[in-house]
Structure 1
């Protein structure tokens, strides 16, 4: 096996790896991007793209069932799950093909296989990467720059009987071409709630099992309560302070025993209890790259691992695990390496959207975090029914909340449970990026009736 030399080797083709490979190649570097599964990583193949495509179909089903609320009468509503899945696959394949085409056009070398640091090291100042293809063939790559972008995978919890039960995870459930009669969901995090609501809208009875006392523990209590009440109103069953002890059965007949002695019966089981980093095949110990107690790769503010010439980007370096964070990781590394930049992880303001319906949008600090940090704050909060556009759309469930620094009148953060909450939160994010005081949004003239107009009302609530 002869050595192949590259200026840079990228392990993993997620939302940081692909654009970084293109930029490095366009800058004249020889680049190899190694991928063991599908080009594009989680987001394109088994994450954002397919799940939000399915969520769009689920929302159409939801609105169809609500047609009488809008004065429209229709016939019986039926979910054609094979057609829903086919639509999802078509969009994923298009996105996947676009990634491959972009890499090839830029001049990057795509190598399919599982890559990691080789047992036999390279010479000083270089790294040897061993790549094993699915057919068993091996390649050895030599480089001075290694970028780790291998992402995460679903956690399989230690639950008695689970090894013998055909359970679903966040990947396999998106290939399900039937609507479960009764879906049992282990976990109540972001992934669990999005799929629970989605499949309930497709027509399944859904029971969510949560060990804790509330949903989404990183959000404020009032935001969690608001989201919980909406899901319960929609017909989901959520069992708090409940823990599974044993599972048995097969598809169509799942029996879940709880630690309190009760037993649940369902047709399908979704396990959504978290994710873990894909690091085992990297053999990080061979080069001294450090990991934290959860297995995530440790990096500094520049995404450097501490080992010269090795960076980690995206989910493999630990939470928050969002596509836009991974993409910004790429921008930080590319700016600093190729454009003499000085970008840092600590420069960005965290923003994200949870794609339940209505959406949960979040930017910056919430009240819980601000008070823990000792900030002197004012809290603006109004129900979503104060948004005229939401009333007109019959989508008035939810609430808006913003945290204001008392001393500066600057916005520290905001949370929204409401129709297109992710889009509305972006308006507040822009104000925060521009260093605007809350009074600017309070007094701004927004076109009527838009969703953004509610920001007038939200910040006027501080004056009442």
Structure 2
């Protein structure tokens, strides 16, 4: 056997690559993981989901403590630095790396470290940190190299007061004020985090409204909530220039406004990690944002080369990327895949409080001329929320007026990303089991947040009867 030949080489050890590598190994293939970094886990583990959500969790706990009348009787409000919060996040990263490294060891998947470049359609040159290059060949390749923050050429990211969403995790102090350029998922999450630490925040949105892909009512709710907590939110703005100096950063907007802050966080767009890989030489041409075009089976212009995860663009979710990896691996093993990827992928946005949704929005249903009705459960009316003090938020059900079929689940509030999965499970059932009636006829533990489904279902059902 040629030690440098594999059935499949997987490029990138984030959720997408990990899901594919494990599936291929269990399917009997000789697989190797190619990872540019010293540790496995990809951007998700080291710069994205894990550190930012760990940071957010700790900030939320601090906010909960400081806002509780009970704890106020015990002492003064507490203040913790950004750096202190990050230290806990690094502990979580270490645990994740250790666990994921074990997956590769147990499944006999070697992890080869270095920068990969295609020499021809079946040969990869892997250059290690010592400058040495080895050549690897494979029958199939899977590109799961992820993405990184988009960096416009006229913004100086070497300046100590200008950061992208990767660099911000190396911040060693708590600023007094932050300008966040970009009010998408990352920008909104960091606006909540910094505001929770008592930092003044200017959130610059380049679009008409925040998080336009959300249901309008949910988008309005997070906009109102951020403003209520002191975030200055500016819509429909584009930057003219960004200038850092010894004392701070000045953001000049095309509208003529000038915004001043201690530092600026750039959170506007992502680029696929495909540069330097030699893809063009084998007939694969990434777009202007470094993303690779694939077919419904995740094959590129070269059928034996697959691409999954953030490097192909939408939906750019760790959860979806893992499933894409399983799908692509099954297609490699069997030449087809009967496993159907979920049509409705849940969205989780870890603002404070968090947002999660699955299915269609009111705007989409109205445009499609689908007759629908709404059921609401407001957290302020749920006993469990009153007990925990987390009364901000709501659960919203969209359902067909005639059949009661569930069409969309939208949640804003504490534990939203957990709560949404109850509705997702029912919505995914075949008719007639995917209707509002499940929640009308089911006994929920009391008091729980899940009880909100019964409350929302009754609220909606009363509108159509």
Name the TM-score, length of structure 1 as normaliser.
0.92
Task: For 1:199 and 1:425, locate their aligned partners in 2 and report how far apart those are by CA, in whole Å.
Answer: 26
Higher mean displacement: 27-36 or 437-446: 27-36
Q: 1:205 aligns with which of 200, 204, 216?
A: 200
User: 1:133 maps to which residue?
Assistant: 128
SS in 2 for 1:144: strand
Q: 1:392 aligns with which of 360, 368, 387?
A: 387
Instruction: Quote how far apart the aligned CAs of 1:295 are.
Output: 3.9
Tell me if structure 1 keeps the 8 A contact 2:59–2:85: no
CA offset digits 1:164-219 (Å, max 9, x no partner): 56411111212212111111100101101111111121221111111222110111
User: 1:440 maps to which residue?
Assistant: 438
Q: 2:319 aligns with which of 324, 341, 345?
A: 324
Q: Which runs of 5+ in 1 are unaligned?
A: none
User: 2:447 maps to which residue?
Assistant: 449
Task: For 1:321 and 1:4, locate their aligned partners in 2 and report how far apart those are by CA, in whole Å.
Answer: 32
SS in 2 for 1:6: strand
Tell me if structure 1 keeps the 8 A contact 2:181–2:187: yes
Over 3 Å counting, the alpha-carbon distance change for 1:69 and 1:360 in structure 2 is farther
Task: For 1:227 and 1:29, locate their aligned partners in 2 and report how far apart those are by CA, in whole Å.
Answer: 47
Higher mean displacement: 386-395 or 218-227: 386-395
Instruction: Quote how far apart the aligned CAs of 1:410 are.
Output: 1.3
Higher mean displacement: 63-72 or 137-146: 63-72
Higher mean displacement: 329-338 or 289-298: 289-298
> What are the equivalent positions in structure 2 for 1:23-38 lying under 5 Å apart?
23-37=23-37, 38=39
Task: For 2:279 and 2:333, locate their aligned partners in 1 and report how far apart those are by CA, in whole Å.
Answer: 26
Instruction: Quote how far apart the aligned CAs of 1:380 are.
Output: 2.5
Task: For 1:20 and 1:208, locate their aligned partners in 2 and report how far apart those are by CA, in whole Å.
Answer: 37
Instruction: Quote how far apart the aligned CAs of 1:67 are.
Output: 2.3
Over 3 Å counting, the alpha-carbon distance change for 1:70 and 1:456 in structure 2 is farther
User: 2:92 maps to which residue?
Assistant: 91
Task: For 2:276 and 2:200, locate their aligned partners in 1 and report how far apart those are by CA, in whole Å.
Answer: 39
Instruction: Quote how far apart the aligned CAs of 1:339 are.
Output: 6.8
SS in 2 for 1:369: helix
Q: Which runs of 5+ in 2 are unaligned?
A: none
Tell me if structure 2 keeps the 8 A contact 1:32–1:108: yes
Task: For 1:387 and 1:150, locate their aligned partners in 2 and report how far apart those are by CA, in whole Å.
Answer: 44
Q: Does 1:146 align with 2:141?
A: yes
Over 3 Å counting, the alpha-carbon distance change for 1:340 and 1:247 in structure 2 is closer
Q: Does 1:239 align with 2:234?
A: yes
CA offset digits 1:241-288 (Å, max 9, x no partner): 233212222364212222233322211110000111111222222222
User: 1:458 maps to which residue?
Assistant: 456
Tell me if structure 1 keeps the 8 A contact 2:16–2:308: yes
User: 1:48 maps to which residue?
Assistant: 49
Task: For 2:137 and 2:43, locate their aligned partners in 1 and report how far apart those are by CA, in whole Å.
Answer: 27
Tell me if structure 2 keeps the 8 A contact 1:302–1:345: no
Q: Does 1:362 align with 2:357?
A: yes
Alignment root-mean-square deviation, CA:
2.3
> What are the equivalent positions in structure 2 for 1:211-222 lying under 5 Å apart?
211-222=206-217
Task: For 2:53 and 2:290, locate their aligned partners in 1 and report how far apart those are by CA, in whole Å.
Answer: 29
User: 1:111 maps to which residue?
Assistant: 112
Task: For 1:79 and 1:404, locate their aligned partners in 2 and report how far apart those are by CA, in whole Å.
Answer: 44
Instruction: Quote how far apart the aligned CAs of 1:374 are.
Output: 3.6
SS in 1 for 2:450: helix
Instruction: Quote how far apart the aligned CAs of 1:76 are.
Output: 4.0
Task: For 1:365 and 1:346, locate their aligned partners in 2 and report how far apart those are by CA, in whole Å.
Answer: 17
User: 1:372 maps to which residue?
Assistant: 367
SS in 1 for 2:15: coil
Over 3 Å counting, the alpha-carbon distance change for 1:328 and 1:154 in structure 2 is same
Instruction: Quote how far apart the aligned CAs of 1:291 are.
Output: 4.3
Q: 1:188 aligns with which of 160, 183, 189?
A: 183
SS in 2 for 1:135: coil
SS in 2 for 1:245: strand
Instruction: Quote how far apart the aligned CAs of 1:400 are.
Output: 2.3
SS in 2 for 1:101: helix
Task: For 2:98 and 2:19, locate their aligned partners in 1 and report how far apart those are by CA, in whole Å.
Answer: 14
Tell me if structure 1 keeps the 8 A contact 2:327–2:341: no
Instruction: Quote how far apart the aligned CAs of 1:160 are.
Output: 5.9
Q: Does 1:342 align with 2:337?
A: yes
CA offset digits 1:35-55 (Å, max 9, x no partner): 112411111111111111111
Instruction: Quote how far apart the aligned CAs of 1:426 are.
Output: 0.6
Name the TM-score, length of structure 2 as normaliser.
0.92
Task: For 1:283 and 1:370, locate their aligned partners in 2 and report how far apart those are by CA, in whole Å.
Answer: 44
CA offset digits 1:358-390 (Å, max 9, x no partner): 110101111122233343322333433232322
Tell me if structure 1 keeps the 8 A contact 2:4–2:137: yes
Task: For 1:4 and 1:145, locate their aligned partners in 2 and report how far apart those are by CA, in whole Å.
Answer: 14
Alignment size in residue pairs? 457
